[in-house]
Structure 1
Amino acid sequence: MLTARPTRPGTAKAGRRPRGFDLYFTARVVSLLGDAMLQVALTVAVLDAGFGTSGVGYALAAWLAPVALLVLFGGALADRFEPRNVMVAADAVRTVTQLVFALSFAAGAPALWQILALQAAGGAATAMFTPGSATMVPRLTADIQRGNAALRIAEAFTTLLGPALGGLLLAGFGAAAVFGADAASFALSALCLTAIRLGRPQDRAARPAPAPMWRALAEGWQEFRSRTWLWSVIALWSLYGLLVFGPALPLSAAVVVAAHGSAGFAAVTSAFGAGTVAGALLALRFRPVRPLAAGALSVAAFALSPLVVAVPLPLLAVVAGNLAAGTGFAFWGVLWATTLQTQVPPAVLSRVAAYDVAGSVLALPAGRALAGPAASAFGPRALLTVCTAGALLISAAMLAVPAIRNLRTAAPTPAPSVRPSAFADPERAGRDMGTAPEPDLEPAPAPSP
């Protein structure tokens, strides 16, 4: 049960150490920042080790394949046990893998098979971590959309800052230092997650006995297929990965660098990142009654990203197009995450979220693999025009599905027995993020689910 109490100006909860969402927010920020730094270090380290661009591709594939193959089991494990515990265990594994990476590169270049094995272990841990993370926001804050928007903003900033920090560490101390920093980020994430209080011991003892794995997977599939809006979006989003995300991103990079140089490409990338911040800030203010309909309209703006590259335009126009594309894409992301977390029962949310991840990941490698041959056959600009059309058609297809178009916002049911956080205090959140104060909702004591 939620009890509302008015918030008076100047009554911020000063002196209280961070709890709830604050701890989760910190865990995600440091982890995302470490990953963003790692992308630079891994690429450079593999190239310097003499394994070439093929080695980089193998290393990335070695991480992605376990994510795609194991994420459904990760969702079942998260719902079978406490999701937070599975996430902490996954962070512990990733801490160890990155420490081994750091020691290997400090001692000299490791063999390619060692790099692939460590990447595969990290990907398997990510598959265990990701589904459970979908359950954390609704358990830690009454304002789910604001929490998702805050995380999206943090993700955008880490994407912008991470590569620069990684490059500085790489230049000053070598690849081993970046891998060590990434290991430290996972360790800090695990500590923050462990510190979150999700329920009393007697509540956890009252949890029903977990179902067998095969039954848990079957129940997850049933929950997934019973919601037309859900499986329709995932099916269309898989097509999006094949026709739009997969080919558009590498082709756009190649064309922009050829036309405007590396500085121009950096400006375009930064504009897209700034757009994701703008889209997340928009989601703090705008709460549509039909979230997926509004999201489908907003994500149509992503079509501008390949369009402004396909049509020879000045750099300023390319930057503006990617700014708008990033805004629409981030706004959709916040609305989708919020819809998933408010429309799906908490007991099966991790398993359902696993299907979301699997559907989003599976088609991407195929889209990227086909991008090169298709661009050679038809030209990169022609293929980017196809990506533009695909983005618009898929957005229209989402709007054409009544279950997607007509889905209305659900009233959230945040988990009890969690201490309030900064983002459950709208006065503090409004001060920190530029939004107006709203009534403060504080969960009353009750058993945890």
Structure 2
Amino acid sequence: MGMAGLWTRNFGLYFVARSVALLGDAILPVAVALAVRGAGYGDSGVGLVLAAWMGPFAALLLFGGVFADRFTARRMMIGADLVRVATQTVVAVALLTGRPSLWLLLVMSALAGSAAAMFQPGVASTVPRVAADVQRANATLRVADAGAQLLGPVLAATLTAAFGAGVVYLLNAGTFAISAACLVALRLGPAPVVARGASMLRDLREGWYEFRSRSWMWSVILIWAGYGVLLFGPIYPLGSGLVTERLGEHAYGFTMSALGAGTVVGGLVAMRYRPARPLAAGAVALLGFAMIPLTYATHAPLGLLLGGHAVGGAAWAFWSVMWATSVQTQVPPDVLNRVSAYEIAGSVGTVPIGQALAGPAAALFGAESVLGVGAAVGVAGCLVLLAVPGIRGLRRAPDPCPPVPAAQPA
């Protein structure tokens, strides 16, 4: 199926919804940092507000998967977007009219994190319902994500400098409003829904059974748990410090731009290349991600830093498309939201541990040593991925039948 076949009305609306929401997600960390510091609460305040978002997100993510299977993913996603419109608007008004209290920022951040937990599990199950070519759809969305990551921080910093953080929060609220409007406009057929009489605990158990019954899935998540502590957690806190101390802040900005450019390239490759064994191909590509911590650890010159980040970004994007497509096409639709919730929770759950331990480990062993270990772990993890039969041998699932739209908007 060509690109023209991908761009149906439903996929176009979903693409806009996800693109603007991803832009909002990219804006948010910079907006939080600048707003909280501008209000006089310092680095500790920034940490508290970000933690207030992450805590409810991690705690409620599994329930978000259950609710998405019970009430449909689209309803949960629309509701989550509307909650975030409200929270970001409240903070915007508080910033535009004075100095918001820290408790207000904490409460609104916690509500936004809770809403994100209700939103995120439904992403996986919606892609196969709006696109017949799931891999190409995921690759297209990955390119949009890369664009958002490139544009969002710059846009947030520029608007804050020109108009204040309140305007950035209003823009953030607007992205979620557009996302909700596009999701409302989707014309989808009936979605599989869990029987209302089932208990919450039974739904969670069923999702866990489906998750652990797939060795290829839980094997990847076990590896990702180690990556979170030893690779993903330390890489940016320590890497950013090494680069800025040695080459200046502008050099670190260039490396992040190179990472984004590489992510675009990886997404474009994933649009075209359709391996018979997607996770095996993704694991081979993911070897390139180790270039990022390796260039940090070896004090590589700027040119090699940029090249390493471009390779790492392309590797990460290609793996991400292969993984998302495998999950969305190998798991039955009636449990996909719950399985995705377990998968997401396992993927990100150990990253805060790695971030918290990065500083103390660097003080004991040196940042270069910690990042060098991360690079070695990155390569070792890819070799383990290729050594696990369930991962190496997973075959590409056939593309589903083209999604059938509902006669009228839901």
For residues 43-442 of structure 1, the aligned pairs below 5 Å read: 43-199=33-189, 203=190, 209-210=195-196, 211-414=198-401, 416-418=403-405
Tell me, in whole angstroms, the C-alpha distance in 2 between the residues paired with 1:104 and 1:18: 40
Q: Is the 8 A contact 1:102 1:179 kept in 2?
A: yes
3-state SS, counterpart of residue 416 of structure 1: coil
Instruction: Extract structure 1 runs of 4+ deviating beyond 2 A.
Output: 206-212, 412-419
Tell me, in whole angstroms, the C-alpha distance in 2 between the residues paired with 1:103 and 1:288: 50
Please state which structure has a larger fraction of its residues in helix.
2
Following superposition, the deviation at residue 18 of structure 1 comes to 6.7
Higher Cα radius of gyration: 1
Q: Is the 8 A contact 2:72 2:193 kept in 1?
A: no
Paired positions, count: 406
Moved more, 123-132 or 206-215: 206-215
Match for residue 9 of structure 2 among 14, 19, 42:
19
What is the TM-score of this pair, normalised by structure 2?
A: 0.95
Following superposition, the deviation at residue 35 of structure 1 comes to 2.3
Letter in 1 for 2:282: G
Aligned pair in 2 of structure 1 residues 294, 304: CA closer, same or farther (>3 Å)? same
Q: Is the 8 A contact 1:298 1:331 kept in 2?
A: yes
Following superposition, the deviation at residue 162 of structure 1 comes to 1.0
Following superposition, the deviation at residue 237 of structure 1 comes to 0.9
Aligned pair in 2 of structure 1 residues 18, 167: CA closer, same or farther (>3 Å)? farther
Following superposition, the deviation at residue 37 of structure 1 comes to 2.1
Identity of aligned residues (%): 51
Tell me, in whole angstroms, the C-alpha distance in 2 between the residues paired with 1:208 and 1:31: 27
CA-based RMSD:
2.0
Tell me, in whole angstroms, the C-alpha distance in 2 between the residues paired with 1:214 and 1:383: 40
Aligned pair in 2 of structure 1 residues 53, 409: CA closer, same or farther (>3 Å)? same
Aligned pair in 2 of structure 1 residues 322, 194: CA closer, same or farther (>3 Å)? same
What is the TM-score of this pair, normalised by structure 1?
A: 0.87
3-state SS, counterpart of residue 335 of structure 2: helix
Tell me, in whole angstroms, the C-alpha distance in 2 between the residues paired with 1:323 and 1:208: 43
Following superposition, the deviation at residue 42 of structure 1 comes to 1.2
Q: Deviations over 1:383-434 (max 9, x none)?
A: 1101111111111111111100111101132463228xxxxxxxxxxxxxxx
Tell me, in whole angstroms, the C-alpha distance in 1 between the residues paired with 2:348 and 2:49: 16
Q: What 5-or-longer segments of structure 1 have no aligned partner?
A: 420-444
Aligned pair in 2 of structure 1 residues 232, 18: CA closer, same or farther (>3 Å)? closer
Q: Is the 8 A contact 2:128 2:403 kept in 1?
A: no
Q: Is the 8 A contact 1:80 1:216 kept in 2?
A: no
Letter in 2 for 1:209: A
Q: What 5-or-longer segments of structure 2 have no aligned partner?
A: none
Q: Deviations over 1:47-72 (max 9, x none)?
A: 12121111111111111111111100
